[in-house]
């Protein structure tokens, strides 16, 4: 690809961003489709966020991905925020649409597409979601519109209960919030079809931790861990060992990126190319700590 006077820029902003897989994923996709776009990573501290957004505006960037620690705060600097991102209170994708900055959140959709693409239907299913932080909230918002029953369990029970209350109000279906404990997991897992880990338990360097005791897992479960560092978490290994179906966190990353790509380009994302680029990068780094 040759960069010229008409090349538009997309970027990820966050702190840290050096190990982000988004640049390789999106650049591979831009190249594959012959789009005159380039994707870079900008380290932006909390204090620098306001200036970064006004810089993106004045430089005419086409789009941004937003990661930690800016997903919530960035909302204040945008012209419009779509209803999903507004309800969740977090933006991970921005489109510069004729100088108007519009915020979206593609995390929930990314997670649901990852399940679908792995042959897991959410219809009439019970989902047990671990965690009530930013990522969990985005997934819960999307899942509550699709599954028959959603149970959110979190170490801090108030967060799970609040989230369940908010979703129950919005979608009126069966959403419950409970405190994370082995006893609650045991009760809930017996009747769960899809288990999603959206806590940080099991993330590098705590690769030998899992949020779920292995003896509670069973072969009728589909398990998605949104952690992709390591690529296969202890939870994913334990789930595989009992014969459960497992979806990798890399797939959620891939599909949230694919949805963002489509927002910026109006073109279907070449997901195979994006996945290969991400896997190659991981292999090159050996790991991504």
Residue 140, both tokens: 């819960």
Interface with ligand ATR includes 178 (CB under 6 A)?
Answer: no
Among 11, 132, 140, 143, binds ligand ATR (CB under 6 A): 132
Q: How far is the first Cα of the chain from the last one, in angstroms, to the nearest whole number?
A: 30
User: Per-residue string for binding with ligand ATR, 208-227, x by CB under 6 A?
Assistant: ---x----------------
Among 14, 110, 134, 177, binds ligand ATR (CB under 6 A): 134
Give the integer Cα–Cα distance in Å for 227 and 233. Answer: 7
Residue 64, both tokens: 């941004």
Characterise 69 by phi-psi region: left (phi > 0), alpha (psi -120 to 50), beta (else).
alpha
Is-contact 222 194, C-beta < 8 A?
yes
Question: Which position among 50, 71, 159, 245 bears the catalytic label?
Answer: 71
Interface with ligand ATR includes 156 (CB under 6 A)?
Answer: yes
Instruction: State in angstroms the smallest separation of the CB of 80 from ligand ATR.
Output: 23
**46: DSSP letter:** G
| Cβ-proximal residue to ligand ATR, closest one | 133
Neighbours of 226 (CB within 10 A): 29
Interface with ligand ATR includes 234 (CB under 6 A)?
Answer: no
Is-contact 108 142, C-beta < 8 A?
yes
Query: By CB under 6 A, which span of 96-104, 193-201, 249-257, 260-268 interacts with ligand ATR?
Result: 193-201
Beta strand segments in 6-99, E:
8-14, 37-43, 63-66, 80-81, 93-97
Among 133, 161, 168, 237, binds ligand ATR (CB under 6 A): 133
Interface with ligand ATR includes 20 (CB under 6 A)?
Answer: no
Instruction: State in angstroms the smallest separation of the CB of 252 from ligand ATR.
Output: 11
Binding residues for ligand ATR, rule CB under 6 A, total 16
C-alpha neighbours within 13 Å on the C-beta side of residue 36: 7
Among 70, 125, 159, 234, binds ligand ATR (CB under 6 A): 159
Give the integer Cα–Cα distance in Å for 64 and 72. Answer: 14
Dihedral in degrees, nearest 10, Cα atoms 248, 252, 254, 257: -170
Among 136, 227, 271, 282, binds ligand ATR (CB under 6 A): 136
Query: By CB under 6 A, which span of 42-50, 73-81, 197-205, 227-235 interacts with ligand ATR?
Result: 197-205
Interface with ligand ATR includes 155 (CB under 6 A)?
Answer: yes
User: Is 126 among the residues known to form the active site?
Assistant: no
The residues facing 81 across adjacent strands are 103
Instruction: State in angstroms the smallest separation of the CB of 109 from ligand ATR.
Output: 16
Give the integer Cα–Cα distance in Å for 221 and 238. Answer: 12
Residues in contact with ligand ATR by the rule CB under 6 A: 131-136, 154-156, 159, 180, 198-201, 211
Q: Which residues are catalytic?
A: 71
């Amino acid at each position: 690809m040759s960069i010229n006077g008409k090349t538009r820029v997309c970027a990820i902003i966050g702190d840290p961003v050096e190990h982000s897989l988004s640049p390789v994923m999106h650049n591979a996709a831009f190249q594959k489709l012959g789009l005159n776009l380039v994707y870079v990573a900008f380290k932006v501290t909390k204090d620098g966020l306001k200036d970064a957004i006004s810089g993106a505006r004045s430089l005419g960037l086409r789009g941004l991905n937003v990661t930690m620690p800016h997903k919530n705060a960035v909302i204040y600097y945008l012209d419009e925020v779509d209803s999903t991102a507004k309800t969740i209170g977090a933006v991970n994708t921005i489109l510069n649409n004729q100088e108007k900055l519009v915020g979206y959140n593609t995390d929930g959709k990314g997670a649901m597409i990852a399940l679908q693409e792995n042959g897991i239907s959410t219809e009439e299913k019970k989902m047990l979601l671990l965690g009530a932080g930013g990522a969990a909230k985005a997934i819960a918002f999307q899942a509550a519109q699709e599954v028959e029953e959603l149970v959110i369990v979190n170490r801090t029970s108030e967060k799970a209960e609040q989230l369940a209350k908010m979703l129950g109000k919005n979608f009126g279906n069966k959403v419950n919030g409970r405190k994370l404990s082995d006893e609650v997991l045991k009760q809930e897992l017996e009747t769960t079809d899809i288990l999603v880990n959206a806590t940080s338990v099991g993330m590098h360097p705590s690769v030998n931790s899992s949020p779920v005791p292995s003896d509670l897992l069973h072969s009728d479960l589909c398990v998605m861990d949104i952690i992709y560092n390591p690529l296969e978490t202890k939870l994913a290994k334990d789930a595989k060992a009992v014969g459960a179906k497992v979806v990798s966190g890399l797939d959620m990353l891939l599909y949230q990126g694919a949805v963002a790509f489509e927002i910026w380009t109006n073109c279907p994302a070449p997901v195979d190319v994006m996945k290969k680029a991400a896997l190659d990068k991981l292999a090159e780094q050996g790991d991504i700590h």
